């Protein structure tokens, strides 16, 4: 199967959206999960998300993002106190 050619503008917008939602580290991990390699990425995604809809996946990601933001905010407060 040939490699899909994507407009660079779309790639930049997609990367920006991932970084805004996940942060650089997790966005990088996400992208690397789809790099060519061993295994079947479709099976891996099915294993990770099961039969959840896109809306359910989005809701779960948003909950995790909010939880992480609260966690980091509380760490920043603790660090500024010490």
Report d(CA 68, CA 63) in Å as an integer. 9
Cβ-proximal residues to 65 (8 Å cutoff; 6+ apart), any chain: 21, 22
Residue-range domain boundaries for the chain: 1-50, 52-81
> Six-digit token pair at 30?
């996400």
Q: What's the pLDDT at 70?
A: 79
Residue pLDDT, tens place only, 27-40: 888 888 876 666 77
pTM attached to this predicted model: 0.40
Residue pLDDT, tens place only, 17-72: 998 999 888 888 888 887 666 677 778 878 888 888 888 888 888 888 888 887 77
Residue 75 pLDDT grade (very low, low, confident, very high; cuts 50, 70, 90): low
Cβ-proximal residues to 49 (8 Å cutoff; 6+ apart), any chain: 57
């Amino acid at each position: 199967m040939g490699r899909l050619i994507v407009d660079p503008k779309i790639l930049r917008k997609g990367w920006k959206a991932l970084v805004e939602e996940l942060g650089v580290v997790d966005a990088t991990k996400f992208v690397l999960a789809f790099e060519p390699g061993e295994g079947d990425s479709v099976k891996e995604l099915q294993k990770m998300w099961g039969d959840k809809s896109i809306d359910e996946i989005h809701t779960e990601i948003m909950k995790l993002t909010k939880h992480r933001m609260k966690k980091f905010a509380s760490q920043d407060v603790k660090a500024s106190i010490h």
